[in-house]
Every structure is written in structure tokens, then in C-alpha cells.
């Protein structure tokens, strides 16, 4: 706050409890903005006083109260006094913390020098973290250093250090102009409507063309000849043209070739330039036809080529095996060192290696998320997720902090593993987490069960702009021992409530954080 005991929105967001809720997604920025606008005393200054701060805090607290149990509470004199003291202290808190950081960076940390160098500032944890996360470039850092002092000044005193930090904070001030947001929303909505209309027109044209053009029923035609008979007016072949290939459609209807196998083969073929991955030219079609023919070689030829095919299959799954072995090694090392299960205590180097292997695995064609995207739909069937899964690994900072999902482990107990049961019928979509809490040093072991509802939906990714498969979970109850509590205000469950499906095959599933894609949850089917 300033000398008049007024607080800006940026200062409010930096209060630890509010900052944590925003980071975890328990409190949305739009919700905080609505609370702020309701109490701001002067639109031109855009600041709030003590009463406004108390009201905002009450509004936030009301979000997490059980339905039907909300009660109006008067703020007593002691609370007002505590808030006033907090606001009064906030004006100097930032500078005090920065002064302490400056003292730590000084040569030797013993006060022998009153300045720090460019290299010392670059090694400050705040700077190294921003650079490693890609939020601050080396050129931006150098520019901030130069602009904070005089030309030729190779050292930085405390005054310059504070000036540098003010400029650094300004880099992360977001534009909150509502009029601009509304204009952007209008443009996006308009573009989406136009795209839908164009897609509808294209689908109608394809249907008309399919009705007019004959099915090619001749068999054993050379690929080049077959392509010339199937190709559209642009001399390209897409999904609609393949449906006119009679021999191929017979293979599918008779069960000799599944639609999933065909999608994988089409996904491997290089697409024609400028067609958004929807069409192949003659060269690509000939490769596709050859790949289909290779599936139906004589039995003798298959037996002769069996060793080679086995090697191809081994290479095909090499990345998946590498990932599972890496996670197994992390668990073995963790067991020897007394660390938590599922990688919750793994080091930064291990985390980066897991993230690297997962990134490569997600691009493989046997990933059903990729296969669904190649077909143009992008959506994975919810049936693929049904069943019981065991958590192998998580890099969630919230789970690390809470030593598990429920946050009940700790002290004389520790996290002992997590399973997830996903149930889906025509009328029900239920999810159940079972967390093992294991006793140590005489502590008692028990199970924690978390139940709720789930749904699978397709949304545009904030990072790629492409359709993404999102699993949304609404927790209902937390049951442990004889107790049953409502789960809607358990903050530790937040990371599981909205996750992106990035990889799935018959027995492995990988989810990423909806707002932090480096956060991983790796599950193996039980």
C-alpha cells in the first residue's frame, strides 16, 4: 500500500495466499477482477482502502464455503486492526525483501562491498528462474541492466537494484482493458462462425461429389492408374476420394483392415503442400497403396520376414520402453534414498529427462491422440479412458507440496501410491481416486477415497490453438476412516480437476496440466 493506506490490484495479487490460489486455478483472474471492480473506490486511481480489502477477502472466502452453510460474519475490531497493520507493513515489505536479496548477492555476503556486478545479478535465483522458464530473454536482461544505471557504470548499488526490479516488474503487467478484450472476443466469434460456414459448405460439396462420381470396383490396378481415377479436380486424393476406392472399402467392411489401421497408414504418408494435411498427391498415394499391399503379403513371405518385422515392432515401441524404464529407475533410487513414490521427490535433471522422452513419445503415430488428430476430428473416444489406472509419475508442484493428492499424508504417515477408477455408461460418468497413506514409526496406515464426476470434451488449446482433449473432474466427497467431507473446497485436489490428454495407447496414458503443460501425470492401466 501507499502512504494513504491504499492498495493497488498488483499488490493484492502478490499477497501469498491470493497468489497461490491464482497459480493453482482455484481462483480465476476474472473472478478477482469482478471482486475488485465491485469495491474500488476511485476508478481513476484504481486502488482500494482497508474496507475494500476486507470485502475482497470476504468475497474470496465465500467462494470456498459449503453450499447451504454460508453465514454472514461481522468483521471484528481485531480483524480490522490486523488488516490495517498488514496494509501499513505492505508498503515497506517489497523493499525490505529486495534489500535482503541485495545483501545476499554482495561479495562474500559480509557487507565488505556495497555493490554487485552484472554476473552476480545474473546468478540471482529470481533471474535464473525467469530465464530458464523462457519468461525473460538474455537481451531483455541486459537491456534492463543498462537502463537502470548510467552509461559505463559496471556495478549496481541498492538504489539501482530497486530501480532494476521496478523495470522488471513492468515487463509482466498485463493489459486489462476490457474494451480490447471484448473486441478480440467478437473477432474470434466472428472467425469461428465463418469457419463453421465454410466447413459446412465444403462438406456439402463433398457429399454431392460422392453421389455423382462412381466407385472404382476394378481390382489389382497399378497405383498410378488408380490414383488418376480417384483424384479430384486438383489432382489430389483425400478422405472422400478414398471412399470411392471399392477394393479398400471391401477390406474395411470384411474386417481385413480396420479404420484405425488405415488412419495410421494415412498419417505416415507425407501430405500435399498447402492442404492442411488433408490430401495426398500421386507420390503419397502410391506409397499409401504400397503400405496397404504390404499388409496382405503371402503367409510364406510373412514367415520369412518375421524377424525383420519383430525388429520393426521393437523399434516402434522403443520410446515407450525407455520411458517406463526411466520411471522404474527413478522409483528404485527413490526407495533407496527414502524419497516419495511417483517421482514426487525426484530432482530437476530427472524431471527434464522424463519431460523430454514424453515429448518425443507424444509425436509417435501409435499415440491414439495423434491418430485422432490425423483423421481431422481430433477427439479421442471417452471409452479409451475407462478402467482402473495406477499413477506412475507426477511432476505436480501441488502434489509435491502436499505429499500426495489429498494432503492428509505427513508426520507419522507418508504417501503410498494412487489409483484412479474411471467409470462411464450411458447415464453415469463417475471417477474414484484411492490414495494409500502408509504408516511409519508406529503411524497407522489407511485409505483415502475421493469420488466425483468426470467428462471428456474438446477445447481449443491456449498454447497451440488446435483442438485438445480435456478431461474435467468435479470432486464430490473425500472419505477417510469414519469421516466423509465435501470435496469442493479441498485445494489439494485442484491439479486433477482439469487436465489435457496428450498420449494414450492400450495401457499407458499421459495427462498434462491445462495451464502448465510441463506438469505431467503418467498413468498405467492396472
Q: pLDDT tens across 239-277, in order? A: 899 999 999 999 999 888 888 888 888 988 899 998 888
Higher-pLDDT residue of 316 and 217 is 217
87 pLDDT above the threshold of 80: no
CA separation, residue 181 to residues 30, 170, 341, 505 (Å): 12, 20, 44, 39
Q: What is the model's pLDDT at position 459? A: 84
3 pLDDT above the threshold of 70: no
Altogether, the residues listed in the chain come to a count of 526
CA separation, residue 49 to residues 9, 30, 39, 110, 360 (Å): 11, 21, 9, 40, 52
**Is residue 419 within 8 Å of residue 526, measured between CB atoms?**
yes
Q: Give the C-alpha separation, 517 to 500, whole Å.
A: 8
Average pLDDT over residues 202-206: 61
Residue 170, helix vs strand vs coil: helix
Report the percentage of the chain scoring pLDDT > 70.
77
Average pLDDT over residues 321-337: 91
Query: 179 falls in which pLDDT band (50, 70, 90)?
Result: very low
520-525/498-504 β-pairing:
unpaired
Record the pTM: 0.44
Query: 307 falls in which pLDDT band (50, 70, 90)?
Result: low
91 pLDDT above the threshold of 80: no
Residue whose C-alpha is closest to residue 507's, from 324, 352, 374: 324
Q: What domains are defined for the chain? A: 7-105 (no CATH), 343-525 (2.40.128)
Rounded to a whole number of angstroms, the CA Rg of the chain reads 29
Higher-pLDDT residue of 43 and 194 is 194
Q: What is the model's pLDDT at position 51? A: 78
Under 8 Å CB-to-CB from 159, ≥6 apart: which residues?
Answer: none
Q: What is the model's pLDDT at position 41? A: 59
**Is residue 451 within 8 Å of residue 431, measured between CB atoms?**
yes
Amino acid at each position: 500500500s501507499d502512504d494513504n493506506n491504499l492498495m493497488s490490484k498488483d499488490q493484492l495479487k502478490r499477497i501469498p495466499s491470493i497468489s497461490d490460489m491464482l497459480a493453482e486455478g482455484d481462483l480465476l483472474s476474472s473472478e478477482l477482477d469482478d471482486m475488485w471492480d465491485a469495491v474500488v473506490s476511485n476508478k481513476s486511481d484504481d486502488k482500494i482502502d482497508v474496507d475494500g480489502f476486507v470485502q475482497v477477502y470476504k468475497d474470496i472466502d465465500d467462494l470456498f464455503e459449503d453450499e447451504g452453510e454460508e453465514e454472514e460474519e461481522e468483521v471484528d475490531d481485531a480483524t480490522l486492526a490486523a488488516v490495517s497493520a498488514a496494509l501499513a507493513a505492505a508498503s515497506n515489505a517489497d523493499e525490505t525483501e529486495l534489500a535482503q536479496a541485495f545483501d545476499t548477492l554482495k561479495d562474500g555476503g559480509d557487507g565488505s562491498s556495497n555493490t554487485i556486478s552484472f554476473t552476480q545479478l545474473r546468478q540471482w535465483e529470481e533471474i535464473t528462474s525467469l530465464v530458464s522458464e523462457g519468461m525473460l530473454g538474455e537481451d531483455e536482461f541486459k537491456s534492463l541492466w543498462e537502463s537502470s544505471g548510467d552509461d559505463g557504470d559496471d556495478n549496481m548499488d541498492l538504489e539501482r537494484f530497486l530501480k532494476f526490479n521496478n523495470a522488471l516488474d513492468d515487463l509482466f503487467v498485463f493489459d486489462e482493458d476490457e474494451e480490447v478484450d471484448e473486441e478480440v472476443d467478437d473477432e474470434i466469434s466472428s472467425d469461428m462462425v465463418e469457419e463453421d460456414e465454410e466447413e459446412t459448405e465444403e462438406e456439402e460439396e463433398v457429399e454431392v461429389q460422392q453421389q455423382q462420381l462412381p466407385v472404382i470396383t476394378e481390382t489389382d490396378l497399378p497405383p498410378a492408374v488408380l490414383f488418376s481415377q480417384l483424384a479430384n479436380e486438383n489432382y489430389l486424393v483425400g478422405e472422400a476420394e478414398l471412399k470411392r476406392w471399392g477394393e479398400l472399402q471391401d477390406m474395411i467392411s470384411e474386417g481385413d483392415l480396420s479404420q484405425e489401421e488405415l488412419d495410421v497408414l494415412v498419417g505416415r504418408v507425407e501430405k500435399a503442400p498447402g492442404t492442411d494435411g488433408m490430401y495426398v498427391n500421386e507420390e503419397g498415394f502410391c506409397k499409401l497403396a504400397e503400405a496397404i499391399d504390404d499388409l496382405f503379403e503371402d503367409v510364406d513371405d510373412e514367415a520369412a520376414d518375421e524377424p525383420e518385422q519383430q525388429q520393426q515392432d521393437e523399434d516402434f515401441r522403443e520410446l515407450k520402453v525407455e520411458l517406463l524404464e526411466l520411471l522404474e529407475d527413478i522409483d528404485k533410487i527413490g526407495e533407496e534414498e527414502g524419497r516419495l513414490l511417483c517421482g514426487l521427490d525426484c530432482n530437476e535433471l530427472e524431471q527434464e529427462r522424463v519431460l523430454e522422452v514424453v515429448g518425443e513419445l507424444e509425436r509417435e503415430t501409435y499415440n491414439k491422440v495423434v491418430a485422432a488428430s490425423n483423421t481431422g476430428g481430433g477427439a479421442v473416444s471417452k471409452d479409451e479412458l475407462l478402467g482402473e489406472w495406477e499413477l506412475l509419475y507426477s511432476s505436480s508442484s501441488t502434489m509435491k507440496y502436499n505429499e500426495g493428492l489429498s494432503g492428509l499424508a505427513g508426520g507419522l504417515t507418508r504417501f503410498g501410491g494412487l489409483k484412479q477408477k474411471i467409470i462411464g455408461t450411458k447415464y453415469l460418468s463417475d471417477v474414484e481416486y484411492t490414495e494409500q497413506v502408509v504408516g511409519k514409526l508406529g503411524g497407522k496406515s489407511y485409505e483415502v477415497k475421493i469420488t466425483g464426476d468426470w467428462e471428456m470434451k474438446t477445447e481449443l488449446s491456449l498454447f497451440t490453438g488446435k483442438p485438445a482433449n480435456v478431461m474435467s473432474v468435479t470432486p464430490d466427497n473425500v472419505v477417510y476412516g469414519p469421516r466423509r467431507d465435501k470435496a469442493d473446497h479441498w485445494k489439494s485436489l485442484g491439479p486433477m480437476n482439469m487436465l489435457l490428454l496428450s498420449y494414450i495407447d492400450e495401457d499407458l496414458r499421459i495427462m498434462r496440466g491445462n495451464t502448465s503443460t510441463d506438469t505431467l501425470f503418467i498413468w498405467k492401466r492396472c
